[in-house]
Amino acid sequence: MLVAAAVCPHTPLLVPALAGAGQGELAGLRSACHEAVAALLAAGPDRVVVVGGADHDRAFDGWAAGSLRSYGVDVTTGAGVPVLPLSLTVGRWLLERAAYDFGAVALRAVAADAPADACLKLGAELAGEGRVALLVAADGSACLTANSPGHLDPAAAPYDDLVAGALAGGDHETLAALDPGTADRLWASGRAALQVLAGAAAGGAFDGSLLARAAPYGVGYFTAVWRRRGAAPGSS
């Protein structure tokens, strides 16, 4: 059963050494991410699953390593040879800051182009045993401005508004209905991971809180927390 979820961006700019000129806005986003992770763990989950988009589906144990060296800073999370995609590297880095027991963590990459029904099915499977919390690493559209990585698309802002509203309202049905083709056109790399969350939350009622929203480089970033109604910490 999904008891809580946190949604955070997977930009490496959350790491202070990479924040550069956007330090002020990114510092606020980073603080919101730490707050979201703390709220996630306060729900008392039996295990935490970090979910993020990647080129391919793949499961990793909680000790797997990821590196941000290719982004210009010598930051590594986990042990051994770095194998994690960017989304899981940033998600694991955030969880590491909270000093959580990684023996109770799973890391799950979902293909960024995975069909919606496959994402929903995966979410239901991940939430199937015990008290589960999801840390979802997901960005919005990268087409919000003329200087965005995907350039300006007038549909990008309404798409991000839709996602932000769903996150604020604990609305898994809206996330489940996101169109993969539209998300791909808008460079919304977090769509698949958000639909995994939707699948995990299906059948439950959640209180949502949007802690932060920013787009300092023309890419939509959200930070949100979902808490299952009636699921007190430690209850089954």
Give the per-residue pLDDT at 34. Answer: 95
Give the per-residue pLDDT at 234. Answer: 61
List, for the chain, all residue ranges whose pLDDT scores fall below the cut of 50.
Answer: 19, 21-22, 236
Give the per-residue pLDDT at 74. Answer: 85
CATH node for 2-227:
3.40.830.10
Domain ranges of the chain: 2-227
Mean pLDDT of all residues belonging to the chain? 93
- Block residue for tokens 């960017």: 86
Give the per-residue pLDDT at 232. Answer: 67
Model pLDDT for residues 13-35, shown as the tens digit of each residue: 888 765 454 456 788 899 999 99
Model pLDDT for residues 168-210, shown as the tens digit of each residue: 999 999 999 999 999 999 999 999 999 999 999 999 999 999 9
Give the per-residue pLDDT at 27. Answer: 84
